Structure formats: C-alpha cells, structure tokens
Amino acid sequence: MSEGDPMEARRPPTMADIAAHVGVSRQLVSLVLRDAPGASDETRRRVRDAAKELGFSPHVGARSLRRARSKDLGVVFAPAHSTEPEIVEAIYPAAAARGYDVILSAQTSTHSTDQAVDELLGHRCAALIVIGSDLDHSGLRSLAERSLVPVVDVGQGKRNQYYDIVRSSGDKGIEELVDHLAELGHRVVTYVDPSAMPAGALRRRGYERAMKRHGLPTDILSMPGDYTAGNYFEEAGSTAAHQLLRRRKLPTAVVAPNDDTAVGLLHTLVRNGVRVPDDVSVAGFDDAPIARLTSVDLTSVRQDPGLMGVSAVEAAVRRVEQGGVRPRETVVETSLVIRSSTAAPRRR
C-alpha cells in the first residue's frame, strides 16, 4: 500500500501502533491496557494518552477469550414483539451495573431459537436469558443441560430445578381486566387467544377463572399461527374481528392477551363501522407503546418490562457467581391501566 493511501488511514490502530508512538514494547502496552502490574504510573499515563489520541478500541472478543471467566450474558429475543425490545433495553444497564456485557441473538421466522442459542454459546456466554421463547419446559430443560450455563426463561413457566423463571403475574392481570369489565356491566366478554403465544395459556386461565367467578359463560376464539412472524398478533386480532362481525350479535367486550392483537381487532372493528367503546369495549395486555398512542388509547395490563429485564439479569448473575444455587422463580406484579377503549355497555 503506497504512502498516504486512504485505506491505510482507515485501518484501526493496534497495540503495536501505541507501542511505536510511545516508544515502549507491545507487551508493556498490553500490561497497561489490561490493568496488570508491571508498569510505572508515568508509563501508564503515556500509554493511555496515546491510546486516546490514536482512537484505539480494545477488541471485545479477544478480551473475552483472555478472561478466566466469561462476563457476557447472552440474550435471545424476538424483535417482532413490542414488549421484548423494552425488556432488552432494561437488560443493558442492569448488566453493566454488575460488570457484564450483553450479546444479543434474535429469534425470527428464519432464525430458530436453537440457532440463536448456538451463536451465543459460541461466544462463551456465562449465562443465557431467553425472552418469550417458543421452547416448552422440556426444551428449556434440554437447553440448560446441554449448554452447561445458567438459563433464565423470561415470560412463562413454573419454578423448577433446571432453569430460572422470570414472568409477570399474567393470569392475575387478565383476571383484574375481566373484573373491570364486569364492574362496568359487561356480561358477554370474548377472549381472543393467539394460541402460539408462549405465555398465552397462563393468561387464558386468568380469563377463565374470572369469568367463572362472575358466573359468566366463556367465549374463546383460538387463533393459531407463527409466533415469530412480525404480523402474527395483529393478524390474529383482525381475523378474530372478522369472525365476530359474522355473528348475529357482537359481544359487548373483547379481551386480548397482548396489545398488538387488541389493536388489530380494534382497527378492524372500527373500519367496519363498529364504535369502540360505544358498541364494543376492547382491552389488551402489556401496555406497549402502541397502546399509549392517543389514536388508540387502549385499556391494558402493564407488566413492567423494565423490572422483568432487571430481574432476569439478577437471576443470571446470581447463578453465575454463586455456583450451585438452585434456580428460582421471580413473579413481577401487573397493574391495570384504564383508558378510553373500555366503557359501560350500551343498552341494546
């Protein structure tokens, strides 16, 4: 490469460049950058000043390989779902506060959970946090046994001896939502069930318990599909709305176990001349950003994704640093957020 070649100017600086700049050995530069003993305070100052001046950044992967124990937390999540990025956002500062880095791997329709996990294990992650996974208990147990690192499942499940659980009290949240509708006077409350949703069974049980407690008949619309598809939930809501529109009489209220499904249903009803909440009240779960839009203003159940992310990090770090402790279950309480999409039913 010729002198002054722009490609040379773009080459990232190395420890050899710092050594040449300061006039010391590369080994001495390495000692300083690793905070290892063996260099004077003056040499440390000069090396660090040179590194800053040259724009040197340490290679994270190489640094990880040199460590006796990994300080990386691997996170598997489905970016298509609105709540999971909020959980991930909380994981970063929680991990940093405990001296850990975060490596993400996405679960999509073209990239399975197993593929995402294998990528993270290839990075020698100290623990795995799996958010909203399509793995059942058997799959998560197998993952914990073959990975040989602590596994935290965020979203569903019960306490067990193989992996940690972090979940919201989704069944209680849906119960509280049904209680709210019953108190408003609703007696015909339909539940839209995206059956591929990992936490769906727990939330459906909350609906069934509440309806039984109020002496009301259940009405469940099951919507199968591909959980990892970006539009699965919204399409499930839209399909459910079309099914309801074909009935002789609409229910007075509809509950969905996530906000994307509720919004898909709400928009389809409105486009077909149904007034929300005058004709039908609509409610969801998650209190996702879309629920808070003034054009939607959806009654929803908030499950505090920030606290779920922090709890997942705490569970992972506890198992990493206190080897041999048993996995535990952390339940994050939910809260009802009432907005204008629900109201007392009109007399018919």
DSSP for 174-210, written as a single string? HHHHHHHHHHHT---EEEEE-TT-TTHHHHHHHHHHH
In sign, the C-alpha dihedral spanning 86, 90, 95, 96 is positive
The confidence score (pLDDT) of residue 7 equals: 37
Q: Is 336 helix (H, G, I), strand (E, B) or coil?
A: strand
Which of 151, 107, 182, 112 has the alpha carbon at shortest distance from 336?
182
Find out whether 82 and 57 touch, Cβ atoms under 8 Å.
no
Q: Indicate the DSSP class of residue 3.
A: T
Find out whether 186 and 219 touch, Cβ atoms under 8 Å.
no
The structure's pTM equals 0.75
Q: Tokens for 37, please give them.
A: 């003993």
**How far is it, in rounded angstroms, from Cα 258 to Cα 270?**
19
Q: Which amino acid is at 95?
A: A
Q: Per-residue pLDDT tens, the chain, 348 aa: give them.
A: 444 443 344 567 787 888 888 888 877 887 787 676 778 888 888 988 988 888 776 654 544 444 446 799 999 998 877 788 899 999 999 999 999 999 999 888 788 888 898 889 888 899 999 998 878 889 999 999 888 899 999 987 788 999 999 999 999 999 999 999 999 999 999 999 998 887 888 999 999 999 999 999 999 999 988 776 768 899 999 999 999 999 999 999 999 999 999 999 999 999 999 999 999 999 999 999 999 999 999 999 998 999 999 999 999 999 999 988 999 999 999 999 999 999 999 875
**How far is it, in rounded angstroms, from Cα 34 to Cα 308?**
34
The confidence score (pLDDT) of residue 69 equals: 62
The confidence score (pLDDT) of residue 65 equals: 43
The confidence score (pLDDT) of residue 5 equals: 43
CA-based end-to-end distance of the chain: 83
Which of 190, 251, 249, 260 has the alpha carbon at shortest distance from 227?
260
Which of 347, 348, 327 has the alpha carbon at shortest distance from 165?
327
The confidence score (pLDDT) of residue 57 equals: 65
**How far is it, in rounded angstroms, from Cα 185 to Cα 209?**
18
